[in-house]
Structure 1
Amino acid sequence: MRIDLHTHSTASDGMDTPAELVRNAAAAGLDVVALTDHDGTGGHAEAIAALPPGLTLVTGAELSCRLGGVGVHLLAYLFDPAEPEFARERELVRDGREPRARAMVARLNELGVPVAWERVAELARGGAVGRPHVAAAMVEQGVIPSVSAAFAPEWLGNGGRAYVEKHEFDPFEAVRLVKAAGGVTVLAHPMAVKRGVVLPEGAIAELASAGLDGVEVDHMDHDAPTRARLRGLAADLGLLTTGSSDYHGRNKTCELGEFTTDPEIYGEITRRATGAFPVPGAGG
């Protein structure tokens, strides 16, 4: 059983529509895929409608958080999307995405980078605009060699020359909100140092005490020693460990199913969730 619990569509900053994403997941040989667009659930209905036979969809979101100046991403699975308090908070974060992207484009222009807002919006294919779309436009202009290069401090990385702050969750509050909506929480790529400063292990321990369910261990931004360190930390803290691709489509090198989650861990996630249930494709 092949399970990928972290993917993105055009409903946030991915390049595949939700329908394309689930079709590509099935073609990649996945049995279960989670759609975890940033701070929203707008792609879920389309993904469910297009779900191929044999593929199960886990509905979710990747929440943008910040703690002590450190950016934190929290994967939330199988929560009730209609729970009002959590829905209001997600809306606050989502509403800031386009103004933020426009401001980043303006800063790039001031730095002499000829990125056009119209092209960035076009790359989003009608979905929410995010940093990867700005980065893809920079690649087209020959400013950087790859989308991942845009996330360095010189450009769009946290605190970078063209970085723009946004409204974000406090991760402890995010854990509380997800739990209140019947969901399960997993800290995404917690030791991805190439993305910038990461949470200290003490903060992860505090989140575990506050109800965090797991940590994403197997991820393209974690090398082998980092994965071993995270597995040890998770064992000490009683946290679940997951593996995922963090797939965004052709704008990143990761492939669907590049890293996967153990079926027993997936079973525990579904057992803990009370807000929603995995959706099987017709005949799945």
Structure 2
Amino acid sequence: MDIWDFIFSLIPDKAETKFNKAFNHYSSNVASIIIFSDIRIKPLASSPKFYDWVLRKFGADAPITAQCFNDLLETRVSLDIQLQASNFEVPIRMNQRTFKAICDTFKIYCNVKNFFLPSHLETISRSASHEILGPLFEHYLADLIGIEVTYQLPMESIEDLDIMQTEESNDMEIIENVLNGDQTISQNDQISSAKRKLETKEIKEIKELWKEKLEDMHYNSIYNGSGITNPFRNCLRIFVEEKLPYAEEKSKRINNCLSKRRKYSTKKSESDEDSKQ
């Protein structure tokens, strides 16, 4: 039994809710580690194995699982920022095994479900890693708007095989129970096997939310793109200008407006200089 299973068993009522509340409180109070004057690493609130356990225990749709992904994403991006600055293969003050475990756990979450939200874009914009940008732009968003998916999942990881084997064994137990006349399926099995189905209206709202956020970030970054990495900027530009529905037509209109605005700014500057002379 995992230590977390033991702790969970000691909570009498509403254990999942209390676990979620405790994790939120703890993760929000984890201080960043300063590596350089302007670079910080956001440590995970717990060990990577805890995040693995949460996914197994509560399933992909549980609130605590989403919170775990948020924490994983912030840490994974902070490590990527440090690697960009140092040009090392492993972050400073971290051994290769720990770094690999964090990366693998992030991959596992990406393989299981789309946890990405429009609110994550600001964090992701500081990343240059294709292991972060690829699943978002070339898989989840592509699948959402119904275009070709060019980043294939699942991503390979050491822990992934263990999770897949566990899920397969759980499925076999359910089948055997049904064949034997046992109709009782545990709540955890129901959660892990159930797929969240969104209504057409919900999907449309999600698409519009992503579209609005992506376009806003893209066109604002033309004027103020500080802090955005070039790989992210490129992924964003391609997706907004080439892949979104009616993207090409809208991009031309906006680029024309931007061109006129630049010409106006140039003429105004020249006029101001002439008046000074």
> What's the TM-score once normalised by structure 1's chain length?
0.27
- Larger RCO, structure (CA 8 Å, separation 6 or more): 1
Between structures 1 and 2, the one with greater helix share: 2
Between structures 1 and 2, the one with greater strand share: 1
